[in-house]
Structure 1
Amino acid sequence: MSFFGQVEFDINPNLNFAGGIRYDATAFVDAAEFNPLVYQELGIRTDEKPEDFDNIQPRFQLTWNVKGNDTDILKIGGGVFTSQPHYYAQVNNIQNSGTLLGAIDVTGTDVPTPDFIGYRNDPSTVSGVPAGVTPFSTINAVSPDFEVPTIYKANINYTHFFGDRYSLGVNAVYSHTKNNYVYQETNLVAEPYFVTPQGREVFVPANTIAENGRADWTKSRVSDLVGRTLVLNSDGVLDNLALVVEGSAKIGEDGYVNASFTVNQSKDNSSYNCCVANTSTFLPVSGDPRDLNYGYSDNHFDTKIVVNGASPTWKGFALGATIVGTGGTRYSLKSGGGRSANGDFNLSNEIAYIFDPSDVNTPQYIKDSYNEVLNDPETSEGFKEYLKESFGSFAERNGGKNPFSTTVDLRLQKKFNLPNDKHSLELSADVFNFMNLLNKEWGRSHNFGNRDFMNINGFDQATSSYQYNVQTGAGTEPINGTPWRLQVGVRYSFN
């Protein structure tokens, strides 16, 4: 439910004010079923619905036509904005109340051998729950303190027009988001059982971790009658600051060029925004997954260039181009190896601890592995810098910086006007990643994604510490992007 009111008036002939206020109420009609076991064990009501009724959002914009000659325009604006939670969140909660679906966790000789062909021929032969095994459910629920995300946003924009053919402007934008939604693991013991010598909190007893470093996540639960319990709450924050310089030019009768250059910074403590609840727990952390990790956002970039234009039409032909270049996207060094370093369910949410080669307590094989990475000419310089900056600490989340890369797309079109002038035929050809057509080494990107670098391969009970296998090839510069593509089209128009 929404209400909105707006007012606009001229303070003087050259200064315009527009202001408004909006109210939004959000409530889901259908609740998940109540699960008494979850309430008994964890005090969580599975029939809680996402609701928020207190979102009052003012906003305004001042527009100043400097000297009233339409050549210099200054705009200042700001406001508060909210958004609805995505509907899939409530689907998660309804489906995973624990009353519709269940799970079992069996290992060793208790694991039944599947006979899928036999199951299809005779469904009654499906083994079901083995004797002596108690099913438990993965739970998705909503915190009673849930609130919808709220964004506080402000910007200042100045544009100068050079006649009616050219313009140049600068736009500064700042936004702060609070109450960003994120699922938090709740069926997890409140305090770690121990802390490794490197400072990583571990939420299972050390004596339950196998010699190969594999932890049994079920030992981290508050209740062994319930599985993972992910509760949707409003712990997320996001800060963004961007400066955009943009210009435009009109060429001939119908040609144009629009261009912009952006300097950007985006930081958050969780980049989750959709959809399955489990994906909200992929955030790399040093220990407790409930301690959200503030740093560069997964969506961060340092700089971006966008150029879009088209030539004036000549004998029915027009050539268009789009150039997009982005630099400074981010990635993290993680602890992998199919092991959970902090003992929770997730096998991919641990940021890597990077040993200090100058420390006498650092194992020699780790020092040798780091030197191999640093001396390898195939290792990118950015990766080396990220590694060296992390010595003696947990790697900074999204502390790795990717290089600048650019793609160029071209479009050629020819328009034929048919004799009665009410019909036309247009032929077009698009070449995507045109530079890759000219040279297969061009039009590529060399961006890293998150890298498993310190893979766990053992656990020392005497020192309560993990043993690692350093992935010495993790820093090899990847080759990404799409090869060039050609697309041909025909359009027939009439009126």
Structure 2
Amino acid sequence: VGTEAADLKYNPGKFKYNLFGVRLGGPVIPNKLFFFGSFEKDEDVRPGTTYTARLANQTAGGSITRVLASDLDALSLYLKNNFGYETGPYQGYDHETPATRALLRLDYNLNDNNKISLRYTHLDSQTDVLLSNSSSLGVGSRRSTTNSLNFQNSNYIILENIRSIVGEWNSRLSDNMANNLIVGYTYNDESRDSRGSFFPLVEILDNTTNYTTFGFEPFTPNNELRYKTFQLQNNLTWYMTNHYLTFGISAEKYESENVFFPGSQSVYVYNSLADFYTDANAYLTNPNRDTSTVTLRRFQVRWSNIPGQVKPIQPLKVIYAGAYAQDEWQVNRKLKLTVGLRVDIPFFEATGYKNANADALSFRDETGAAVKYETEKLPDANPLFSPRLGFNWDVYGDRTTQIRGGSGIFTGKPAYVWISNQIGNTGVLTGFEQLDNTRQRPFNPNPDRYKPTNVTGAPASSYELALTDPDFKFPQVWRSNIAVDQVLPMGLVGTLEFLYNRDINGIYYINANLPAAQTTFSGVDNRPRWTSNRINSNVSNAIVLKNQNEGYSWNLAATLEKTFDNHWFGKAGYGYGVSKNTVDPGSIASGSFFGNQISGDPNNAPVSYSNAYGGGTPGHKIFLGLSYRAEYFNFGATTISLFWGGEANSNFGYSNYSYTFSGDLNGDGGTNNDLIYIPRNASEMNFEQYTSSGRTFTVAEQIAAWNAYIENDEYLRRNRGKYAERGAARLPMVFRADLSFIQEVFANFLGKRNSLQFRVDVINFGNLLNKDWGVGEKFTYGSNNNVQPLIARGADSQGRALYRFRNTGTTLNTKPLTDDNSLNDVWQLMISLRYNFN
């Protein structure tokens, strides 16, 4: 692994991958019964984080965070000596993924017309994962970046244990009719574990953004997810002269037992490390005090509301049934049409919990109308129709020009956790308290300190709600595409394709407990402002899952390929795509709502660029692939492949970002999600003088720095006088090349050709040649999918939005981008040796 990304050093840490495997197959009864089995055991070890704490003589940047090693060392020792809590290291530790896999397959030929197969799959695995960045607990952005550094024992372990058995029966009923039946059962265990002991989660802020985190991971307490899936599918096919008919049914029964108990460890958020020490020392002096000497930014706690129930189980049972028919019609030698219709109906068992107190409350929907909800009500059994039409036209009948495409509606299952959120958040299974800017909850190392000592099973006194709109339907999208495949001169084959998707039943969320904004900011940034963000004071929020039909995406792609006579093959392509929606839904209702970046009313989020983790709007992509393969003398073969491509850099899974304030500018209760206003000039800026790192930053300095920053950022420069748009700031393209070399030596064994394969793969080959090649860029003030050079300070005396320009030590950084130095930015080389039996 390389160690240089441009002028930055990269510490690759330790990588280790061990794999042991065996495969065996053959006939049990010749020509009748066959078996195949495989077993693998592997261990993948890689760095947990490559970020390091800053020494006193170092400058933050690259993989060096702003967090001082001396602060973390002192904090870890303080917690151990005074509370017996082990934080674990904050750098230099590994993440491990051990896995055991097994597969057994039996194939049985009953007769010439019937074949049966049975397949069993087994997986036991667990993976170390960095703690969550979600702001639905604490204020978020906790993971190790240049801004923050957390301790190892605040991370979590997720299990992936699977047991699956599937049977398949293929029958030929007649010369023109066949049937395929599949029956299966799968059990999944995706529960969590932790390396650390159960201790309150504490987030330490510095200038409103996370500095460090210790304690139990926010969403891991008793986090258990086990689910069973029974499936049945039957396809009957009927072959006619010009028609290929398919009639089918499918049924899936899903049952899950989910325990989701976030915040049950108690969550404390402090504005500074000094504030935490002050509060913790006060506890050591007087453990029974009921008021803190400092103001906490946030306190949260969740408790079980059922007597004697330590783990509040959220049961979910769903039957998803469907029927479909399809006709592939060969109209003539040149044209084939495919017409189909599918109907799906989901049935939810009534496993929700009714909170009569909440049902009696009045809330507010996105139109401003008063509304009530049934806390136990799950989605109705609405039929979902999916008609489709496709075609393939061989224009001249010689496959030199083919036009293909189609249009139709496609239905998908939602992530069932979106529904089970409601079962666990009605105020019946659990209670929840959130206090902002409070002194009422001084620090206590006992996670149960502020939970009720007695619960009766009656609805809790305070709670948060996750609800589902009565008219909610499973996601549906209208999808269309058109493509041309053309044989071109010189043996080239070209493809041009356009795809378009439009939401029919898309996803979005509202907070029905958010009142209308009480006022607006004055000046050019006149967004709504809340001085109170709860309609019902005992409900922290009421997040409602709803449908929308405004999201869309499209993609245009072109490729050229050619197979040469001298063992060469080449392919090149270009694509551009756009994806927009009103929200990128995550696994937690409140996290999805409060993580959505907005500049106006969060209950009426506009359609904007998707900036989801691992996805987002695609943008430009270009690639070129070349390969050469030659076999010689029936002895061996040599294959050389080169792939070169360019696309927007991805930093920790994000390529496009939103310019937001750090903190909560508009007072709606969501942190780090308020989009900034991009000023036309200095007269539209409103900075606050402040002192940090022993230096005072004047208003004039901040104005000059912010103006320079805007001019250095193409997106901001082009959009002065507007609010930043969600996901519209995009990382620059990065170009990287991968090289592969394979040498095979053939040998005959029992009449079959086996091969010994020696392989060398170099990822980011260009960086091996030159440390400046293959290196992406990242946003200097980037965190998750946000860029936050400005710190929200609320409203000034004239009601104008007030803020600070974030300092980096004793300077104000005016460069939006800096070189990245992740694993993707340095070369990686892997050598492998394999013997293939046939």
TM-score by length of 1: 0.85
Which structure 2 residues correspond to residues 393-404 of structure 1 after superposition, within 5 A? 393-404=722-733
CA shift in 2, pair 1:361/1:103, >3 Å: closer
Which structure 2 residues correspond to residues 135-284 of structure 1 after superposition, within 5 A? 135-162=461-488, 166-189=492-515, 191-197=516-522, 198-204=525-531, 219-235=532-548, 237-252=550-565, 255-270=568-583, 272-281=584-593, 282-284=595-597
CA shift in 2, pair 1:292/1:458, >3 Å: closer
Aligned residues: 463
3-state SS of 2:818 partner:
coil
Is 1:468 matched up with 2:794? no
Cα separation, 1, equivalents of 2:488 and 2:438: 76
What is the deviation of 1:157? 0.9
Corresponding residue of 2:293: none
Q: Which of 812, 817, 833 lines up with 1:477 in the alignment? A: 817
3-state SS of 1:278 partner:
helix
Gaps of 5+ in 2: 1-320, 363-371, 454-459, 650-654, 689-697, 780-784, 807-811
Bigger shift: 474-483 or 401-410? 474-483
What is the deviation of 1:363? 6.5
CA shift in 2, pair 1:129/1:258, >3 Å: same
Cα separation, 1, equivalents of 2:774 and 2:685: 45
Kept in 1: contact 2:571–2:626 (CA 8 A): yes
Query: Between the two proteins, what is the percent identity of the paired residues?
Result: 23
1:344-401 CA deviation, whole Å, 9 max, x = no partner?
221022101233326478679767534334446xx884x1x33233433322333324
Kept in 1: contact 2:404–2:482 (CA 8 A): yes
Cα separation, 2, equivalents of 1:86 and 1:188: 25
More strand by share: 2
Gaps of 5+ in 1: 120-125, 205-218
What is the deviation of 1:427? 2.0
What is the deviation of 1:297? 2.3
Kept in 2: contact 1:156–1:172 (CA 8 A): yes
1:57-116 CA deviation, whole Å, 9 max, x = no partner?
111122211121221111131111121111121232222222222222356543243235
Kept in 2: contact 1:27–1:49 (CA 8 A): no
Bigger shift: 451-460 or 16-25? 451-460
**Residue type at the aligned position of 2:758:** L
**Residue type at the aligned position of 1:323:** W
1:451-486 CA deviation, whole Å, 9 max, x = no partner?
1133123532x4223321023536431223522212
Cα separation, 2, equivalents of 1:253 and 1:493: 27
Is 1:49 matched up with 2:378? yes
3-state SS of 2:360 partner:
helix
Q: Which of 620, 636, 656 lines up with 1:330 in the alignment? A: 656
Cα separation, 2, equivalents of 1:494 and 1:164: 39
**Residue type at the aligned position of 1:14:** K
**Residue type at the aligned position of 1:57:** S
Q: Which of 349, 352, 355 lines up with 2:673 in the alignment? A: 349
Cα separation, 2, equivalents of 1:13 and 1:419: 44
Kept in 2: contact 1:236–1:268 (CA 8 A): no
Corresponding residue of 1:300: 617
**Residue type at the aligned position of 2:803:** Y
What is the deviation of 1:334? 1.0
**Residue type at the aligned position of 1:196:** F
Kept in 2: contact 1:172–1:242 (CA 8 A): yes
Kept in 2: contact 1:288–1:342 (CA 8 A): no
1:140-165 CA deviation, whole Å, 9 max, x = no partner?
11110112222112221111125996
**Residue type at the aligned position of 1:10:** Q
**Residue type at the aligned position of 2:813:** G
Is 1:289 matched up with 2:599? no
Cα separation, 2, equivalents of 1:343 and 1:166: 59
Kept in 1: contact 2:687–2:804 (CA 8 A): no
Cα separation, 2, equivalents of 1:437 and 1:51: 58
Cα separation, 2, equivalents of 1:254 and 1:27: 56
Cα separation, 1, equivalents of 2:685 and 2:834: 70
Corresponding residue of 1:104: 433
3-state SS of 1:222 partner:
coil
Corresponding residue of 1:455: 791
CA shift in 2, pair 1:446/1:40, >3 Å: same
3-state SS of 1:53 partner:
coil
Is 1:114 matched up with 2:444? yes
Kept in 2: contact 1:151–1:175 (CA 8 A): yes
3-state SS of 1:313 partner:
strand
3-state SS of 2:603 partner:
coil
Kept in 2: contact 1:316–1:416 (CA 8 A): yes
**Residue type at the aligned position of 2:510:** Q
Cα separation, 1, equivalents of 2:819 and 2:473: 42
**Residue type at the aligned position of 1:258:** K
CA shift in 2, pair 1:295/1:361, >3 Å: closer
3-state SS of 1:316 partner:
strand
Corresponding residue of 1:416: 745
Kept in 2: contact 1:373–1:475 (CA 8 A): no
Kept in 2: contact 1:129–1:135 (CA 8 A): no
Cα separation, 1, equivalents of 2:744 and 2:711: 47
Corresponding residue of 1:433: 764
3-state SS of 1:371 partner:
helix
**Residue type at the aligned position of 2:394:** N
Cα separation, 2, equivalents of 1:402 and 1:192: 34
TM-score by length of 2: 0.52
What is the deviation of 1:203? 2.1
Cα separation, 2, equivalents of 1:319 and 1:332: 41
Q: CA RMSD in A?
A: 2.9
Cα separation, 2, equivalents of 1:25 and 1:108: 48
Q: Which of 416, 419, 425 lines up with 1:87 in the alignment? A: 416
1:143-191 CA deviation, whole Å, 9 max, x = no partner?
10112222112221111125996411111122211321122211111x2
Corresponding residue of 1:208: none
Instruction: Using CA pairs under 8 Å that are at least 6 residues apart, name the structure with larger relative contact order, 1 or 2.
Output: 1
Cα separation, 2, equivalents of 1:88 and 1:440: 44
Corresponding residue of 1:23: 343
Cα separation, 1, equivalents of 2:816 and 2:644: 27
**Residue type at the aligned position of 2:665:** A
Bigger shift: 238-247 or 366-375? 366-375
Cα separation, 2, equivalents of 1:74 and 1:66: 7
**Residue type at the aligned position of 1:412:** F
3-state SS of 1:307 partner:
strand
Is 1:128 matched up with 2:450? yes
3-state SS of 1:13 partner:
coil
Cα separation, 1, equivalents of 2:700 and 2:395: 63
Cα separation, 2, equivalents of 1:162 and 1:391: 46
Cα separation, 2, equivalents of 1:444 and 1:361: 35
Cα separation, 1, equivalents of 2:817 and 2:360: 52
